Amino acid sequence: MSELEKRIVADLSAQVALVTGASRGIGKAVALALGKAGAKVACVARNADKLKETVDEIVAAGGTAAAFTCDVNDGKLVSEMVDVVKEKWERIDILVNNAGVTRDTLLPRMSDDEWDDVLNTNLRSVFLLTRAVSLVMMGQRYGRIINMSSVSGLMGNPGQANYSASKAGLIGFTRTVAKELGKRKITCNAICPGFIATEMTAALGPALEDEVKKRVPAKRLGQAEEIADAVLYLASGSASYITGQVLTLDGGLTC
Ligand code: NAP
């Protein structure tokens, strides 16, 4: 069995998970992993066709899932969607705030729109989702919140002033939510992936391979499934005393 075939095992049956950005990449891998672990999965993104593919794969693997087409920048849609998930499955145990975008350019050329778009999707949406879902979690006195940050939020990255600021903001948000909700058995942690093979990094083209060879001790891109394993662990019973933490999965990039 190869390194990547050995997946973490967790039992999340009777739990309900909501994953944003579940239409592709890391979010899709996370939704599949949670679904295979027995959770009912609310898959959230804008692309209905791609979301359906995620849901179909979970169902084909014997799990339960439903698609919720929603732009996470729209506060009204977000709170309506959270209400519908709660009504459908009666609880929400796991929230994975994964939806994210990049609009890279050097600071002097960065437009207001490029700043606002990235900050809204990557940070403001996490506030909207977490505020709505935390009310459900407080009522049931249980919850796991996992926010997808980035090594760019730890180190900064030229061309990503907007993205790095949003991902660093997520870390402060994570620690505050952990402190506010800890007494109600709700944990909140952040994950910082390094270079992971998805459409987001494919957009960087062949230059990425050189970057990885130069800078990453593991000498390869990470796989979305490796990030999904970390989410599964933080969502599982094994991680009940871990909160307010930042878990970096980057093949050694930041060490
Ligand atoms: P991706 O392949 O580009 O997928 C992004 C996901 O976010 C898609 O499912 C997209 O769905 C969703 N999304 C974007 N804007 C949205 C909106 N307004 N409303 C709802 N959904 C929205 O990216 P990825 O590589 O999987 O990245 C996932 C997360 O990991 C992001 O937060 C990213 O910043 C973070 N990350 C990635 C890497 C990496 O190397 N790939 C490294 C560090 C951190 P729709 O287009 O269907 O809406």
Residue 83 lies in a domain: yes
Q: Is 150 in the pocket of ligand 1 (CB under 6 A)?
A: yes
Q: How far apart are CA 221 and CA 20, in angstroms?
A: 23
- Domain residue limits at 244: 10-196+225-248
Residue 216 lies in a domain: no
Burial category of 192 from C-beta neighbours within 10 Å (exposed 0-12, middle 13-18, buried 19 and up): buried
First to last CA, the chain: 28
The pLDDT value given to residue 209: 86
Q: Which atom of ligand 1 is nearest to the CA of 224?
A: 26
Query: If you measure from the C-alpha of residue 205 to the centroid of ligand 1, how many angstroms do you get, rounded to a whole number?
Result: 17
Q: Provide the 3-class DSSP secondary structure of residue 26.
A: helix
User: What's the token pair of residue 98?
Assistant: 């994964």
The pLDDT value given to residue 230: 98
Q: How far apart are CA 213 and CA 195, in angstroms?
A: 11
The pTM (predicted TM-score) of the whole model is 0.98
The pLDDT value given to residue 110: 98
Ranges of residues in the chain whose predicted pLDDT is under 70: 1-5
The pLDDT value given to residue 5: 64
Q: Is 200 in the pocket of ligand 1 (CB under 6 A)?
A: yes
The pLDDT value given to residue 204: 86
Q: How far apart are CA 223 and CA 219, in angstroms?
A: 13
Residue 5 lies in a domain: no
CATH of the domain at 21: 3.40.50.720
163 catalytic per annotation: yes
Residue 208 lies in a domain: no
The pLDDT value given to residue 8: 84
Q: What is the pLDDT of residues 87-124, one digit of tens each?
A: 999 999 999 999 999 999 999 999 999 999 999 999 99
The pLDDT value given to residue 61: 97
Long-range contacts of 160-165 (CB under 8 A, 24+ apart): 160/102, 160/104, 161/107, 161/110, 161/115, 162/103, 162/110, 162/114, 162/115, 162/117, 162/118, 162/119, 163/102, 163/103, 163/104, 163/118, 163/122, 165/119
Q: How far apart are CA 142 and CA 185, in angstroms?
A: 5
Q: Which atom of ligand 1 is nearest to the CA of 196?
A: 40
Ligand 1 atom 8: residue of nearest CA: 21
Q: Based on the structure, what is the number of domains in the chain? A: 1
Partners of residue 247 on adjacent β-strands: 191
Residue 20 lies in a domain: yes
Residue 95 lies in a domain: yes
DSSP class of residue 66 equals E
Partners of residue 186 on adjacent β-strands: 143
Residue 255 lies in a domain: no
CA distances 9 to 3, 177, 228, 235, 249, Å, are 15, 27, 11, 11, 18
Residue 201 lies in a domain: no
| Average pLDDT over all residues of the chain | 97
Which has the closest alpha carbon to 16: 85, 104, 105? Answer: 85
